[in-house]
Each structure stands twice: as C-alpha cells, then as structure tokens.
Amino acid sequence: MQAESASESQKLMRNRLSRRKLLQAGVVAIGAASVGLMACTEEKDAAKATREAAQAAPAFATAQPFVPGPPVGKGLVRDLAEKLWTGQTTTYQHHPFEVVDDIEEIADRTLFYKSFSNVTAFETDQGLVLIDTGSFAIPSPAAVHEAIRKWSESRLHTAVYTHGHVDHVFGVPPFAEEAKGKGWEQPRVVGHEAIAARFDRYKLTAGYNGVINSRQLGAAVDWPTSYVYPDTTYDKSTVLTVGDTSFELYHARGETDDHTWVWVPQRKVLCSGDLIIWAVPNAGNPQKVQRYCAEWVQALRKMAELNAEVLSPGHGIIVVGQDRVRQILLDTAEFLQSLHDQTVALMNEGATLDTIIHTVKPPEQLKDRPFLQTVYDEPEYVVRNIWRLYGGWYDFNPSHLKPAPEAEQGAEIAALAGGVPALIERARSLMEQGNLRLSCLVIEWAAAAEPDNRRVHELRAEVYGTRNSEETATMTKGVFGFAERESRAKAGE
Ligand SMILES: [Zn+2]
C-alpha cells in the first residue's frame, strides 16, 4: 500500500460526501448549548444521567482552555481536536484515519502522534513508554520513530500494543535497531496474551487478508507475514512501573479479543486503543472476525469512572477535559448497548436476521454526536456481528440453508423476468428511483446469469458507482467501490 494511493482514496471519500450527512453532523454541534454532564458516580446512575442529558440537550461541554503550554508540533492536533468536538468541522471532512502527521504534548512529558493510527509516548526517568507503535505502511515505522525523536532522545524502554491489528504493531524495529547501535538495552514489548494467536492467524491467512484489506481500503495491500511478538504478556490486568510512572493495563474484548486499554494515573491520560476511534465503533466489520459488543460497553463504562483529563484514542483525535472524555466514553457505551439489547431481544423472540437488521436502529438522541458518525463502520453491520456472536450463520430463511448456486438462481430469475435485458432495465429503473438496495440485487441476478455480458457489467459499474458515492462508511464504500472497478474492467472500460 502506497501512501499516495491511500491519501487519494481518502480524498475521494471526502469529495463524495453526502451533503445531507455533512449538514446533520455540523449543524447540531455548532448549535450546541452548554451543559455540564453528570456528577453521579454509580455506573447505573451515570448511564441514566447520560441518557437524560442527551435527551434534554444534544450538546457538549463548551470550549475550554486547551492543552497547556505552546504546541510542540505544528498545532494541528489541538486545532483539529477543538474543531471536531465543537462542530466547526466533522469526521466527514477529517476522517479518523487522516494522516495529520503532527505531534502534541497532551500532559507533562506525554506526547500524542496523530497519523493513520495514533501513538502515545510517555517519557519516564528510565526511558520512553509507547502505547501503540504505528502501522506497517502508513505512516512508515521510520516516520513514527522520527516524529518521536523530534520530541525526546530517551531510549525506548517499553512498547505496549493495544491490540494486534497491523496498523498498531510495527513501530518497534527502528527503536530496536537504534538500541543496538547505541548499546542500549533492547525495548520490552508488552501485549495481551491473545496477540500471538492473532499474528499466527495473520500468517495463515495472509492471502485472504491482502484481498479483504485491499478491498476495504481501495488500495493494494501487501499483507505482512513477519511480526514482532510481545515478549511480555498478561491475562486480565497488570501494572507496569517504569521509573517514576505506573501504567495500568486492562484487557477487554471489544474490537478484538486481544485488546488492552491503558490508564496512566500520574498523567491522568487514558489510552483507549481502538475502543474509541471517533466513529461508529468498529464492531461490525463485514470482512473481519468476531467483535464483542457487550464486553466493549463494560470497558467503556469502566474507563469513564477514571476521570481522565485526556483520552488518546487508537484513531481519530485526542479528547481533552474530564467532561468531554466521560461523554465520548458513555455515549459510545450507550450506542453499543442499545444495538446489543435491541438485537438480543429480537433474537429471543425468534426473529429472522432479515427482520432484525431492518428493525434495529441506534439511539435517536446520539445520531448527531460528532464522534459517532458512519465514516468507517455502520450500525447495521454491528447488528449482524451480535447475531453471529450469539447465534449461528443460519439466518432463519430456509432457502438459504442449502441454496441453489447463484448462477442457477440468476438464470431462473432472468427466465421469469423475460431475459437478462429485462433485468438490466429493471436494475436501471430502480437505480434511477433511488432504490439502490434493490437495484444491486437485480443486477447481481443478471451478472450471475450471464457473468460475461458486457452490458450487465456496464450497468453494474454504474449502480455500484452511484451507491459508493452515496455512502459514507469506509467499509461500505470499499466493497461497493471494488464491485464498480471489477465491472468496469469486465466491461472493458
Ligand atoms: Zn486500529
């Protein structure tokens, strides 16, 4: 994956924004009134108070003094953090994965580096501790090393992986190399004990991961097959003391089974990993393994009790101020809890997956939160993931249990419709009426019936191109954009 191609796809994504969603996200935040959030401490009361506060005024803590002291970088981080929170800009304009490539001091001797994924560095009197280390591709491991070195010359003492995703675990080698050259002790690498199994799986399924991630990101991904495994692991929680500073590590299944969030009480900094990413949580990803909604909610509520001053997320921007940190944590918890509880209630009634995905909706009062927009994942996918966690792959439609091959299904529907040209016409008409869900279905029948029909692929490219332009979530756009390109190639365009 090249830096240029990814940034091109991000630009494309921003240019294809739905105006409606942009306005929705912007207007509410700009008009936000000033409300102080909850004072209660009990988890139950806190959740209730969040709901009441949100219903009373869908607003946020107002602007407040930002990070003390002059910026250590270009000031882009603090500027973006304030503008995103107060609605002067949105995640549709500044996607959480945006490569800002800037540093900011977020507490005493504590640095935040904002790129595709984020890195937080803590200086101690025994060396640096990094929470997450950056990606295999964007930014390059060398770029992360360089960014940190602009701020501190201390040796890397410990690197903590918040989880084993490949955009978080590739930053150690330049520091290890440097340590060798300078005769320093090698850095310690810490992570949850399940990370090793993830790396093993990534090696086993490197081809598959290359395919799905190229599709998701719209750029070729050469999936890595060599990893720096943690040399120090833990199970439920652990405390690392490095020099004068303690780091509390807690395991929580959520986006992954190997996730760690980190609380640094002396700095009042909370590193959430990908449990917060300034978007609808990555709890539904259609091409990835299982996510864990209920445990995710618990972890967010536990983090909210800490009264952190700064939240440093896995992607997206920092959140500064106790009220704001509590709000992003508790609102995200409520969002996930609602999807979870609605889905489970319907499952318990014996509803089909079809009924459930078209019935469950996120809480109305949270739909305009600037940090809960559908710029990456979508609530509909979260619902499917909850079904998969508690149920099987059978969706309760008996024709799907042992289905006829799609080519036969397409041929049968085409015969009923009066031929493939009739299906093409119908798909076009549905597209023009704006019913893209149905239009896609009809054109897929046509493509299944006649996979080499050039006219089918001309329209199929148009249908998915239109659909891609109307969607906002990276995952959705990735799949539809891939289908568009696939058909353009088959149509000889
Ligand atoms: Zn991530």
Q: Is residue 148 a contact partner of residue 119, using CB atoms and an 8 Å limit?
A: yes
Residue 36 confidence (pLDDT): 27
* Domains contained in the chain, number: 2
Q: Are residues 55 and 143 in the same domain?
A: yes
Note down the domain range covering 433.
404-490
Residue 66 confidence (pLDDT): 60
Q: Which of 11-15, 25-29, 311-315, 482-486 has the lowest mean pLDDT?
A: 25-29
Grade residue 60 by pLDDT with cuts at 50, 70 and 90.
low
Residue 71 confidence (pLDDT): 86
Rounded to an integer, what distance in angstroms lies between the CA atom of residue 192 and that of residue 325?
25
Choose one of 301, 317, 342: the last residue of a domain.
342
- How many whole angstroms from 174 Cα to the centroid of ligand 1? 20
Grade residue 217 by pLDDT with cuts at 50, 70 and 90.
confident
Q: Does residue 383 form part of some domain? A: no
The per-residue pLDDT for range 242-260, each reduced to its tens digit, is 999 999 999 999 999 999 9
Residues paired with residue 110 on neighbouring β-strands, in sequence order: 107, 122
Residue 51 sits at the vertex; the CA angle it makes with 46 and 57, to the nearest 5 degrees, is 120
For residue 105, give the H/E element and its range.
strand 102-107
List Cα–Cα distances, 350 to 275, 353, 397, in angstroms.
30, 9, 12
Residue 296 has pLDDT above 70, yes or no: yes
Q: Are residues 65 and 153 in the same domain?
A: yes
Name the CA dihedral angle for 173, 175, 178, 180, rounded to a multiple of 10 degrees.
-70
Scanning the structure block, which residue is given the tokens 């080698």? 173
Rounded to an integer, what distance in angstroms lies between the CA atom of residue 254 and that of residue 238?
18
Q: Is residue 119 a contact partner of residue 156, using CB atoms and an 8 Å limit?
A: no
- How many whole angstroms from 396 Cα to the centroid of ligand 1? 33
Q: Is 209 exposed, middle or buried (0-12, 13-18, 19+ CB in 10 A)?
A: buried
- How many whole angstroms from 262 Cα to the centroid of ligand 1? 15
Grade residue 58 by pLDDT with cuts at 50, 70 and 90.
very low
- How many whole angstroms from 274 Cα to the centroid of ligand 1? 5
Neighbouring C-beta atoms of residue 34, cutoff 10 Å: 10
Residue 10 confidence (pLDDT): 39
- How many whole angstroms from 68 Cα to the centroid of ligand 1? 28
Residue 57 confidence (pLDDT): 38
- How many whole angstroms from 116 Cα to the centroid of ligand 1? 8
Instruction: Output the domain CATH number for residue 409.
Output: 1.25.40.880
Q: Are residues 320 and 445 in the same domain?
A: no
Choose one of 294, 323, 342: the last residue of a domain.
342
